Amino acid sequence: MTTVPPLGPALGPPLRPPLDPALGPGRRTLRRHTRRAALTCLVVLLLSAGLAVGALASGRYATPLADLWPVLTGGGDPGLRFILFELRLPRIGTALAVGAALGAAGALFQSASRNPLGSPDIVGFTVGAATGALVVLLVLDGTPLTPAVGTALGGTAVAATTLLLGGTGQRLILVGIGLCALLTSVNAYLLTRAEVTDAQNAAVWLVGSLNGSGAHLPLLVGTLTVLLPLAVLAARGLRLIETGDDKALSLGVPVRRQRRTATALAVALTAVGVAGAGPVGFIALAAPHLARRITRVAAPLVTTSAVLGAALLLAADQLAQRLVPGQQLPVGAVTGVLGGGYLALVLAWTWRGGSR
């Protein structure tokens, strides 16, 4: 079988290449990869369920596990019912939805760009979506629903600019980093022109926060119900592109159209994540990497990345609530620290692998 360079060559041992239908059925290998991905999803889902139960039971007003079930089934103390249904459950649901959106977006974009650093965070999609929301919030004085439109427009504009100027590969990353720096300055300027209260609220949101984020949870879940299946379908076309553009073209795969579709879905998923919790970093970068490391397959694993992203964000939020006693840190502050360290390791491994 033709040897295919792994998507992340410096992130550990070589990954198994994606299956090439033109070189044999590979049914046994396909079943093994499918079982491993399914087992990973199951384990992470169980872990997420445990984290969710812990989040429901813990907090400023700790709740014994024995008291959770009566409240969740409609009984129990009214005060505890308010805490669970109005505060904790919406926050948990938003963390899971936003994490899944960012994880799936990262998987699509890293595969479409064929670059392990091709994260929506790094190339400016996330910051662009945040800029769109800030313009609506601070300049246009939008209603509670219009920031979601701003995130979509901002992310789309940055995506179009990045793809137009950068194309794919390393140039795309460099152009994205430049746009990210530019838009970060624009966001800072917008904050200086806003009222003090609005600027304070927007500054917390810009870090990435789940505080008071449950209002639009039904909209987030409904949007993900549409986008995630489309992302899974788009990932199937990207599997052949992982074998190389020439091979994919010889098999009749419309490479440009597949890449554009995957990128558009990645932008939409990123906009959903930013609309739900602000520009939370690290999740879109790390979830696809972890999915490939665990499953040992160098292919876009959208479902596995989404499940891992949901678990990562929920775990980060629990850490943010408990890291400083008596205070709740924005979840983006925790993911930013973790993401910065993770990115430094990735770059160090990449440099070390390239210098050999």
Instruction: Give residue limits of the domains in the chain.
Output: 24-351
Confidence band for 5, pLDDT divided at 50, 70 and 90: very low
**Main-chain dihedrals φ then ψ at residue 143, nearest 5 degrees:** -75, 170
| pLDDT attached to residue 46 | 93
Q: Is the pLDDT of residue 309 over 80?
A: yes
Confidence band for 307, pLDDT divided at 50, 70 and 90: very high
Sign of CA dihedral 24, 28, 32, 38: positive
Confidence band for 353, pLDDT divided at 50, 70 and 90: low
What is the C-alpha to C-alpha distance for residues 262 and 300, in angstroms, rounded to an integer?
11
| pLDDT attached to residue 111 | 86
Average pLDDT taken over every residue of the chain? 80
Q: CB–CB of 266/101 below 8 Å?
A: no
What is the C-alpha to C-alpha distance for residues 295 and 288, in angstroms, rounded to an integer?
11
| pLDDT attached to residue 2 | 43
Burial of 356 (0-12, 13-18, 19+ CB in 10 A): exposed
- Among 63-67, 221-225, 308-312, the minimum mean pLDDT is found in 63-67
Contacting residues for 117 by C-beta, under 8 A, at least 6 apart:
110, 173, 285, 343, 346
pLDDT digits (tens, 9 = 90+) for 81-138: 888 888 889 999 999 999 999 999 999 988 887 777 778 887 788 888 888 888 887 8
Q: Is the pLDDT of residue 263 over 90?
A: no
pTM above 0.75, yes or no: yes
**What's the rounded mean pLDDT across residues 303-322?**
92
- Among 150-154, 180-184, 196-200, 348-352, the minimum mean pLDDT is found in 348-352
Q: Is the pLDDT of residue 6 over 60?
A: no
Cα-trace Rg, the chain = 21
**What's the rounded mean pLDDT across residues 251-255?**
75
Q: How far is CA 279 from the centre of its chain?
A: 10
Q: Is the pLDDT of residue 325 over 50?
A: yes
What is the C-alpha to C-alpha distance for residues 41 and 274, in angstroms, rounded to an integer?
24
Classified by CATH at the fold level, domain 24-351 comes out as ABC transporter involved in vitamin B12 uptake, BtuC (1.10.3470)
Contacting residues for 210 by C-beta, under 8 A, at least 6 apart:
91, 94, 95, 98, 277, 317, 331
**What's the rounded mean pLDDT across residues 266-276?**
88
What is the DSSP-derived secondary structure letter of residue 16?
B
pLDDT digits (tens, 9 = 90+) for 8-34: 444 444 455 554 444 444 566 667 777
Closest of 161, 151, 146 to residue 131, by C-alpha: 151
pLDDT digits (tens, 9 = 90+) for 32-77: 777 888 888 899 999 999 999 988 888 777 777 777 888 878 777 7
**What's the rounded mean pLDDT across residues 199-219?**
81
